Chains A and B, each alone.
Chain A
Amino acid sequence: MVLTGAEIVIRCLQEEKVEYLFGYPGGAVLHIYDELFKQEKVRHVLVRHEQAAVHAADAYARSTERVGCALVTSGPGVTNAVTGIATAYMDSIPMVIISGQVPTAVIGQDAFQEVDTVGVTRPCVKHNMLVKDVKDIAATIKKAFHIAASGRPGPVLVDIPKDVTAQKCEFVYPKTVSMRSYNPVVKGHTGQIKKAVQLLLEAKRPMVYAGGGVILSDSAEKLTKLVKALGFPITNTLMGLGGFPATEKQSLGMPGMHGTYEANMAMQYSDVLLAIGTRFDDRVIGNPAHFAQVARKIIHIDIDPSSISKRVKVDVPIVGNVGDVLDEMIKLVEGTSERPDAEALSTWWKQIDEWRARDCMKYKNSDEIIKPQFVIQKLWEVTKGDAFITSDVGQHQMWAAQYYKFDKPRRWLNSGGLGTMGVGMPYAMGCQLAHPGSPVACVTGEASIQMNIQELSTCKQYRLPIKIVNLNNRYLGMVRQWQEFFHGNRYSESYMDSLPNFAKLAEAYGHVGLEIDKPSDVEGALREAFKRKNDLVFLDFKIDQTENVYPMVQGGKGLTEMILSAEDL
């Protein structure tokens, strides 16, 4: 069948079973939009800014097992999308972004809305490709989806000049992809896996440290099975929350800069550390030299060889897909009667319980003023711990991660790597579309939410009943906290004057807005919001202006050098 390039693009997306395409039209993609108009299988979601399109597609991928898809025009369409692409890249989210380009004849001539898209996006994509011939569109898109979803996932961009979308050729969608230069390892090395299991069985102070790789490979069940069979303590990183049920006793909470005391202590003083789908990043282990002071054996499972021994030397590296490796490990553990030394394990647990008894997550609640931690705890109660929670970036993000106990994977969507303020609402949009009927809440702050506030309009258009939990402290909270701790209380540009009336703003967009300033009203407001199944409700919580996130490990400090509360300052 002879089709135009634009028809081919849409046919490819249909072949890939793309349910939602998040995008924004413009000159270079007009042919593609024309073809979108003529069909119904791929549903387009019109955002108000291209950054939000990419974030929403990213959230669609994070909350499902599918590849997210976005469509933007050339020039500013692409540059607006860059933040979204970089966000997805840092968190290894599978995504395909299709961008329009100026016609091939004028590429390089500084044409209207021209930008070197492949060049601009190169450092923040897993791969990108410029299609110069209509005959290459189908194979390129097939490749893009394959690369995005396989190995360590990531965003892949396909740049298509306008004239190519108008040319015609025979359409055949390739069934398979074969690339001599790209064959990610999936199966782990059997010998290494055996070595790892042996180390685990001989461990006296074992610790499991699981990251986003567990979520991305859909291995939460396998991980839970292995950890329960071994009876080991586990910590899940910011990207790995929900990889093991947070309400289980074996879960020590999150590690790292704002992790729990018990998780950080157990990470540091373990004798065997099993790291799964995680990358020892600076927000998790603090200073690598300090981390390396304590001798311990480290097993590291990761699909990306470059993640292994990048920041921390490991003893047993296993390159492979987390799920496949966990399968092998479970088989080996189940196949042997050998079990970890029960006495040593019980001594270790006693030590952990002592650390836990410090109750590092306690905070002083108040009857007068709303504490942000209290809002998140109530949010957890009201939603029975079963909502999809997205967050923006800052203090509220940490409070959400600390106080909302995630028992299931893919329920927590945040920008962990890049730390992009403004992701919260677009994430909630992508997530709500992927899970119609499920409760979706966006935990945000008055600063972050304003970075993509225009999307309230998109939410109206698509009737997305998300609940926005705005922890409004009239400060760039995390910046203010650092200025208080490390810059002599000089609050340089961290106070926001002239904030809008968010409740009224939400109403202006056609939504429901609530303002809450008393602790006694928190629960009622949340219940009211979730009762309104068809409305977007903007809950503007006026919270304590000076509340800080504890515990805290300062940047550059060791993992165990924690500030547990204001008294430690």
Chain B
Amino acid sequence: MSLLSVRDLTVKFAMRDNTVTALNQISFDLAKGERLGIVGESGAGKSITGFSLMNLLSRPGYIDSGQILFGGQDITQLSEAEMRKIRGNRMAMIFQDPMVTLNPVLTIGQQMVETLRAHRSLSKAEAEQIAILKLREVYIPSPEERLNQYPHELSGGMRQRIIIAMALLLDPELIIADEPTTALDVTIQADIMELLLELCQSNKVGLILITHDLGVVSQMTERTLVMYAGRLIEAGPTREIINDPQHPYTQGLINALPQQTLPGQRLKQIPGNMPSLTAIPTGCPFSPRCEYAVDHCRKILPEIVRYGQVEVACHEVSRLQNTNFEEASA
């Protein structure tokens, strides 16, 4: 059985004059210990997906329909009290900015002990021992001293390590990391990513990595979801998606990277911008920017269809696949 199973998740935001659909019928599964990447540009709905999985959406956002089955239990139906037992305990989240996640007026030790004692009946001394152990796991030098330090006394890379240690504190089954290294320098990013990968592999922790960086997804994950304007448009094994993207948007995203073009040559850009959620075009949301779009695409929303290992939501791909199939059978 999969660890996490998301079925037709739809998230809406109630605005003053209208209701905006931020996530539209998202479905995916995550096996135990699997690492999944969610990519897309700003406004695609990546972070909203992360927040929904933690059941952390706050007004005016709400889950309109769909299910989030975590270990077989639909967490969308849980009360806040029941959700608190899962959150931080069985699933944990790592955010982009460690300075916002850590409480600036509590020491690292106080924050870690507080989290531990909220979920387990431990003495303060026992909790501190576990905290020191976890800090050592993320290669924090002299962890005993760190416990008495405040977040501002530490560097950005060190803070993000502590966040990872805190996420691992209660041995969760799932970690959701939302752009965990975007605020860090490349050399520090590389260290943090390697650490995260190592910890997930050795502890069999599932990882959902939300990022805009396809290189990071390639290094870290086994499967990838590509999102656009609140919809899932392509999903499959990371290698397949990177080496042979099917959806024109995924192709565009990969081809737009500077390393895909010879130095000094024009980059292959995607024209236009991601639509605002208040004005999502009819039919395929990508059709106004898509070079393959035909009338059909502008009228009818493509369903997500499986081809081999990959699922794609695009009319043109299905037509190509059908002609191939007919040729093969003829």
A interacts with B: no
